[in-house]
Amino acid sequence: MKQATLHQLKVFEAAARHGSFTRAAEELFLTQPTVSMQVKQLTKAVGLPLFEQVGKRLYLTEAGKELFTTCRAIFEQLAQLEMTVADLKGLKQGQLRLAVITTAKYFVPRLLGPFCQRYPGIDISLQVTNHSGILERLTDNLDDLYVMSQVPEHLDVVFQPFLDNPLVVLAPANHPLANEKNISLSRLAEEPFIMREPGSGTRKAVQKLFAAHEISVEVKLELGSNEAIKQAIAGGLGLSVLSRHTLTPDGASSELTVLDVEHFPIHRNWYVVYPNGKQLSVVARTYLEYLLDAAKQFATS
């Protein structure tokens, strides 16, 4: 059956429905020999006769009847697909799968509200994970769009920066260094440090800066969440480096302050990324445009 074409199935379906090659030819604007040739090739692909002629009439064989039922199902499915695609083009329904790094979770979900209101038929799934989690999802092609801070070098991707993601040194508001200017890295290294987990992009960026200046910090605590780190800083367990975007108007944020340390902030960007060659759905393309536009407004506000 792999040799069979959709065109042959269409010709066969018409011939079977009319019980006549001539009528099928008229319906499809083909010549009678063309219909007969298409059916002959399909018969060869199936490996059994599809029609039998008794007198002047054409009858379906057992195999012909089976194929006729299958054809109906196939054309029905195709019609459904056409409708779904038409709906998608009109953004009436569809799915949007996003995966974002932990720091972008402070920004991206807020934008989803207005988007969902504009397109209520779209279902959204949002995965929040660290840098290495995003890389895994990207490699497995699990989502439509990814938001991350570092474009993977070993993967073939399309990417676009859309917003700054400065990494800053955070301390409790009442910390002795809170009002100092241009604090040196070596002074910072005297403080206990809280670090993100291995696999975190934030951690990697911090380690890279310290390594470049041959600074080693005393890591008192390792935590896998920005929120937990904020609470730990507020609780006086140490200092840490996090994205400025983690500072939302919540309880922990108001107890924290950004220290003025040399070489900080570490300048990073958020990128929206997807695998090269991926066919973005209409929904994903629309969200992408919406995200870029919202980021522009956010940056100028």
Interface with ligand PGA by CB under 6 A: which residues? 101-103, 130-131, 149-150, 165, 196, 200-202, 268
Distance CA 57, CA 49 (A): 15
CB of 122 or CB of 241, closer to ligand PGA:
241
| Beta-bridge mates of residue 243 | 167
Kindly tell me which of 68 and 270 has the beta carbon lying closer to ligand PGA: 270
Place of tokens 């989502």: 143
The smaller minimum CB distance to ligand PGA, of residues 226 and 257, is found at 226
**Residue nearest ligand PGA, Cβ-based:** 201
H/E element holding 13? helix 6-18
Q: How far is the CB of 257 from ligand PGA (least distance, A)?
A: 21
Write down the least CB distance from residue 196 to ligand PGA, Å.
5
Closest distance between ligand PGA and the C-beta of residue 106, in Å? 11
Evaluate whether 254 touches 179 at the Cβ level (below 8 Å): no
* Residue (24 or 101) nearer to ligand PGA, CB: 101
Residue 211 Cβ vs ligand PGA, minimum distance, rounded to whole Å: 17
Q: How far is CA 177 from CA 136, 259, 292, 294, in A?
A: 39, 7, 37, 36
Burial (CB < 10 A; 0-12, 13-18, 19+), residue 74, is middle
Nearer to ligand PGA, 27 or 227 (CB): 227
Residue closer to ligand PGA by CB (options 16, 229) is 229
Beta-sheet pairing, 256-259 with 167-172 = antiparallel
CB of 113 to ligand PGA, least distance (A): 23
What sections of 128-244 are H helices per DSSP?
131-139, 185-188, 201-212, 226-234
Dist. CA 232–CA 12, nearest whole Å: 72
Spatial distance between the Cα atoms of 141 and 164, rounded to a whole number of angstroms: 26
State which residue, 161 or 285, has the beta carbon closest to ligand PGA: 161
- Shortest separation between residue 103's beta carbon and ligand PGA, angstroms: 5
Using N-to-C axis directions, what is the helix angle for 282-300 and 62-89, rounded to 10°? 10
Query: Whose structure tokens read 């995965």?
Result: 127
| The pair of three-digit structure tokens given for residue 283, joined into one six-digit string | 């929904």
Torsion angles phi and psi, residue 191, rounded to 5: -90, 145
Least distance to ligand PGA, CB of residue 105, Å: 9
